[in-house]
């Protein structure tokens, strides 16, 4: 079912993409959409205040295990997105997905296949992926 949803989304993007049809337009719009996700997340901190960032260098013991590192590192985020900020960020992420699907269409890449391949990589490498 999920592959059908992803394929349907990618097909719809292909049908609706008219004005920014050039690969150059798609690449620049993908970058712009990414920047808008960043900006709306930053605004949740700087303008709304629903999120706060508490960042500092973590102290990592020399004998820390891989499993302990997961507990040592954190997102530096405090708080939760308010409904307005969440709606805005979701909208911007939707545009990002739109242009990612458009890029996939131009390059004859199936977006669902990208998800599957990345999931297989994550399953194979597990914690050794180090992302």
Is the pLDDT at 131 greater than 70? The verdict is no
The string of pLDDT tens digits covering residues 72-130 is 888 899 999 999 999 999 999 999 999 999 999 999 999 999 999 999 988 887 766 66
- In the numeric block, which tokens belong to residue 8? 């349907």
Phi, psi (rounded to 5 degrees) for 96: -60, -45
Q: Write out the CATH class of domain 2-129.
A: mainly alpha
More confident residue, 64 or 26: 26
Distance of alpha carbon 95 from alpha carbon 29, whole angstroms: 9
Annotated domain spans of the chain: 2-129
pTM over 0.75: yes
Distance of alpha carbon 72 from alpha carbon 129, whole angstroms: 17
Helix H or strand E encompassing 51 = strand 51-53
- Residue pair 33/98 in contact (Cβ under 8 Å)? The answer is yes
């Amino acid at each position: 079912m999920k592959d059908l949803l992803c394929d349907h989304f990618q097909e719809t993007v292909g049908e609706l993409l008219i004005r920014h049809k050039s690969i150059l337009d798609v690449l620049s719009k993908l970058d712009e959409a990414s920047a808008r996700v960043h900006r709306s997340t930053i605004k949740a901190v700087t303008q709304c205040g629903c999120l706060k960032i508490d960042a500092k260098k973590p102290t990592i013991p020399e004998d820390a295990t891989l499993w302990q590192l997961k507990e040592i590192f954190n997102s530096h985020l405090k708080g939760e997105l308010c409904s307005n900020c969440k709606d805005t960020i979701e909208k911007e992420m939707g545009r990002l997905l739109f242009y990612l699907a458009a890029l996939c269409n131009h390059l004859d890449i199936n977006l669902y296949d990208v998800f599957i391949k990345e999931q297989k990589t994550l399953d194979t490498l597990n914690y050794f992926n180090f992302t």
